[in-house]
A and B are shown apart, each in its own frame.
Chain A
Amino acid sequence: MIQLTVNGKERQVDVVPDMPLLWVLRDELGITGPKYGCGIAQCGACTVTIDGLPVRSCQARIGLLEGAQVQTIEGMTTKPFRAVQQAWIEHQVPQCGYCQTGQIMQAAALLATTPNPTDDDINAAMAGNLCRCGTYARIRTAIHAAATQLSPTHSTES
């Protein structure tokens, strides 16, 4: 039995220790915001935070997460997250949307550490998040918009 906190709630799961957090969230706990895209850290669709840091949940083994604090998109409340999510909606970033929960989690993590990202910063931070629909232009615009909302002096020039 492994105990962890997911979106502020204590949860217990009885699975083998090498099961990835992604599948624990999706199939054992019914939390489906994190998506399965590749299973090998190549797409970012499964991104969650563990103890505040963005992580590919398909790579995080549940056995190492005893007592961890996990946040999925369903439980995120940080200021950068809210700004990013709002910008995503306003700029209508999603097409199919399947990658977007992961994109938003990753972008929120970027703004938490880099409040004034350049296009190069955005490219570096977001390169692990694949979007097969090709929404990258809007992702860039939305991240700049969120950054501006958080710090009005943010420049969108890179």
Chain B
Amino acid sequence: MSPTYSRREFLIGSAALAGGVAFGSYSLGVLATTPEPNNPLLTGLGPESATFNPWVKITPEGITLVTPHADVGQGVVAIQAALIAEEMDLELAQFDTDFGPPSPVYYNGGLVEEFAPFMATDLSPEAEAARAAALQWLKEQGMQMTGGSSTVPDSYTKLRVAGAVARETLKAAASKRTGIPVSELGTKAGAVLLPGGATIPYTALAAAAATLAPIEEVTLRDPSQWRLLGKTMQRLDVEAKCTGSLQFGIDLVMDGMVYAAVKLNPHKGAPMTGFNAGKAETMPGVQQIFPVTNGIAVVATNTWYAMKAAEAVECQWAEADYPSEQADHWAMVEATFTPDQADKIWRKDGDMEKALATAEVLEAEYRVPYAAHQPLEPLNAVALVRDDSVEVWTGHQIPQGVEQMAAALTGLQPEQATFYNQYSGGSFGHRLEFEHVRYAVEVANKMRGTPVKLTFSREEDFLQDFPRQIGMGRNRGAVKDGKIIAADFHIATTSAIRSMFGRMGMPSTDPDSQIPSGVWNMTYGIPNFRTTAYAVTGLSPTSSWRSVGAVTAGFIGESFIDELIHAAGQDPLQARIELCTVDYHRKVLEAVAKMADWDGPLGNGQGRGVAFVESFGVPVAEVIDVTATDKGIRIDKVWVAADVGGVLDPINFENQVQGGVVWGLGHAMNCELTYADGRVQQTNFHVHEGMRIHQCPPIEVMGLANGPKIRGIGEPPVPPAGPALANAIFAATGQRIREMPFNKFINFV
């Protein structure tokens, strides 16, 4: 297979931006005009203080490590800090962390994999050259962004180097002060170690170190010497999250702050045609009611007063430009499967039509509905606008985007905008969007000088959520002499990536590699293999949802592969192992077989299923055991093997994998968003809950380290969960479920 791509396609990030966004050659104004970003920590640095690079700052009072990737619960503050602390010889309690100011110097190089339109398993010189070009381009763009499970790939080398530079420069400062050669100095627990055992704390060396040029030639520690990485670490934010002292964005309070709520057109993107504040004006605590883009805002003395009054305002809404009824959404997906509407043929091995003509053809259609993000902390932001500045406090994954939007809405210059990132109560892709920023700033702009906290009610958050893509798969395949000889996948979904681009004023028509993600990159040696993606247009806006395209295509692909394996009369796991053409992928399948003690069917109303999906470069295999009880399907156990090329934080790794499985299963079983009358019908958790504890099985996790590159684990455990469960249900009951959510077709205990 030799992928072809145009330069334009490459630049605009045809390949996927996963959990993320591509900013393409459209680059946002100010970002591209800062070719040589320097160290933003130099701003306001006191005379007794030192900074060696944008990640480390030392003052006489203490050490601050900057962790620019946003923490939405995936634990990246802790791992970024640990990478620096490892090389700096800091204990975990010896520093503070800070998200740092938005800056192009914090560009995310980890996105290269999603930018180069090659399979992650393709390490050919051509593919690697494309990745190197993509990295250079990302650097020039200076886009600081969290998403696409890319924090660890981005940070792995960069932050260890940052720590090592700090360490060596501090040693040089100690050498200068003591006259002892650097070669005789060591470092330990936040101090330089002198021969004989005396120590000088880093904080006491800050002033001296500040006068030296940072020592950039450093050697990184061999992993065998690591004290923190790869070992059990206490995640830095855990204690504060267990005492209630950790401050999320929604918890911020400022002097003189007022509280706001919005009521926006539930026909997403369409304007408000009129409103009548009526009795809301005189409701308790209400200070002001005024129109904002596509709706109204209420400002009050507390959030509850603001939400209650917003509910009471009567608004007239224009219709959206997508169909108002769900059936018509599906009809438009169905109508997209025509050759002229193909977004791209992503892979074409062998001769499909010839192969299908020589054997009996199996066909199956799959459906995956819209689903909501709905992290438990609803969208919120604090904003303060003055005549010469705009400040925003919230959790966000694209810091510069926040500043740009704040500036644009207030008519100020981007450099007059300041964003302070906050810990977020989840995201799952929701905090890549800008609605909370837009409305907090719009309201604050009308009340210059007064800080405003805007909180979306849960209902409003559901109504305004840009959901996961809706999509279908139409698959054909053929089996001959007990072998799969052909698999032909046609996948049509809305393009979440293009939808996001559009909202950021950057329309693109280039192929979106997220649509076939998890299918076109399958590593099964099926001689005739084709993947065609179709982008459905004219439907609801959609957005990146934890694992993006692979949750949809992975279900379509791995369920159908299971059908073909059964048609061939083979064992589902053994057959996958035999089909697999990539060593480190096969080892993942073998590992999960061993963990689950896989030995053919279970019988007795029990069933076991397997699914294997690679997304974000991470091959993940999941085995699920279920029992068909008289009350419905019970999930008994899940086993997961995943290869991220090396696990840096074992506890958090396990937690992320378990959480990803719960996310994948819960939504596959229980959740969809449907439109009626132009608005989503599900507006709170009683009708879209994901999974609760009573449905959650034990989940056993193994991380492998055979892969060639260090990868992130936030998203890859999600895609195999749905198909593994559907395949297990088939094994237990003979019922093949080809549509999410499964609870439309079968009961769960």
Contact = CB atoms under 8 A, between A and B. Distances in A.
Interface of A: 15-16, 19-20, 23, 26-28, 30, 32-40, 42-43, 45, 72-74, 85, 88-89, 92-101, 104, 122-124, 126-127, 129-140
Contacts of A35: 248, 250, 376-377, 425
A4 to B, nearest CB: 17
B615 interface: no
Interface in B438-459: 455, 457-458
Contacts of B378: 36-37
A134 B242 contact: no
A20 B305 CA distance: 10
Interface string B224-255: 00000000001101111111111110110100
B537 interface: no
B612 to A, nearest CB: 21
A39 B458 contact: yes
Given A23-B304, A36-B250, A127 B241 contact: no
Contact of B376 (A72, A96, A136, A137): A96
8 closest A-B pairs by beta carbon, nearest first, are: A96-B73, A98-B425, A134-B662, A33-B244, A97-B241, A134-B659, A23-B304, A27-B302
A contact face: mostly helix, strand, loop, or mixed: loop
Contact of B244 (A27, A32, A127, A130): A32
A85 B659 contact: no
Given A122-B693, A133-B73, A134-B658, A94 B237 contact: yes
B11 to A, nearest CB: 34
Given A32-B244, A35-B377, A39-B458, A127 B651 contact: no
Contacts of B694: 123-124, 127
Contacts of B660: 134
B661 interface: yes
A85 B243 contact: yes
Contacts of B253: 30
B248 A98 contact: yes
B666 A43 contact: no
A99 B376 contact: yes
B691 A100 contact: no
B631 interface: no
B689 interface: yes
B303 interface: yes
Given A27-B302, A40-B684, A137 B658 contact: yes
Contact of A19 (B248, B304, B376, B685): B304
B238 A94 contact: yes
B464 interface: no
Given A97-B241, A98-B248, A98-B375, A130 B685 contact: yes
A134 B239 contact: no
Interface in B204-237: 234-235, 237
A30 B257 CA distance: 12
21 contacts: A26-B251, A30-B253, A35-B377, A73-B244, A88-B238, A89-B239, A92-B235, A92-B652, A94-B238, A97-B73, A97-B238, A97-B242, A98-B73, A98-B248, A98-B375, A98-B426, A124-B694, A130-B689, A134-B661, A134-B666, A138-B658
A103 B659 CA distance: 16
B696 A100 contact: no
B659 A43 contact: no
A49 to B, nearest CB: 14
Contacts of B693: 122-123, 126-127, 129, 131, 136, 139-140
A37 B376 contact: yes
B555 interface: no
B699 A137 contact: yes
Contact of B377 (A30, A92, A96, A136): A96
Contacts of A97: 73, 237-238, 240-242, 246, 423, 425
B72 interface: yes
The range of chain B's interface size is 35 or more
A16 B428 CA distance: 36
A33 B243 CA distance: 8
Nearest to B307: A39
Interface hub of A28, A40, A95, A124 (most chain B Cβ within 10 A): A95
Given A96-B424, A126-B693, 7 more contacts: A33-B244, A92-B655, A95-B656, A96-B375, A101-B241, A133-B376, A137-B699
Contacts of A72: 244
B689 A100 contact: no
Given A94-B237, A123-B694, A140-B693, A37 B658 contact: no
Nearest to A42: B685
A14 B285 CA distance: 11
A92 B239 CA distance: 8
B425 A96 contact: yes
A34 B425 CA distance: 13
Interface hub of A40, A98, A124 (most chain B Cβ within 10 A): A98
Nearest to A45: B376
B692 interface: yes
Contacts of B656: 95
Contacts of B691: 134, 136
Nearest to A22: B304
A74 B246 CA distance: 11
B712 to A, nearest CB: 15
B686 interface: yes
Contacts of A95: 73-75, 426, 655-656, 659
A17 B97 CA distance: 42
Contacts of A74: 243-245
